[in-house]
Chains A and B, each alone.
Chain A
């Protein structure tokens, strides 16, 4: 494994859990699969489509997202929206993220 792969592997490991939090936050405003993928990519959360689409269904099954078919346009799309339970989890994960940021900063500033 060369150095580039090594770094990529650690980065992927570090970011793995952030996709769920990002989804829950973005979907406080209802949106559909491809648009969410695009928003995540723009936001710097690299996630593959074949990971995201099954993930949305899993989160819905866990009650963290709600879904609704929108048939107003010519192409019907499944819109997901963060549920009340999902918002609660997003708050909790967000606080944990802040704690981690503080903890890491403390470590960095006190060598």
Chain B
């Protein structure tokens, strides 16, 4: 019977390190999401129902208050998503995206619902979503529905892939359109753990089984 040599142990160790290497970085949440901002005396708080934010559908909540901390329940609120960091936020929001009013004008007026489930409407820049084609869309725009609490607005934002994103929030209060941008960091989906974990496990089992069978064979 052939004994397990130090070379075999070294090989298995190297394989283990190579196969698992970097996974910590892959799933580390490097994001710090600022979620409260103020514009012209209005305080906007952006949050997500689940954390960390991951690619796919994410429930977006916005709380709108005035300077006296009174909730504002009569605003028209929309949000758009664009890839990038805060350095380019202003130019992106100002140049590429319509205001909440413009977005709303494109939609049926009866589409707003106070349903707590939060009906959302997505206007896609392209005809096909990323899930359909595997290609990434340029922008996603949603109109938020009023939530159960005063000053609360809800919607579901589909984020195509991980990375740094900017969420532009536009709201119209008493005819005035206001805009503010929040940077968010979207982490890798947890399912990737499963893919890498399964890969690692299957390969280790195969190598282990082959090693055992070879010893018996010899």
User: Are A and B genuine complex partners?
Assistant: no
Residues of B bordering A, CB below 8 Å:
none
Residues of A bordering B, CB below 8 Å:
none
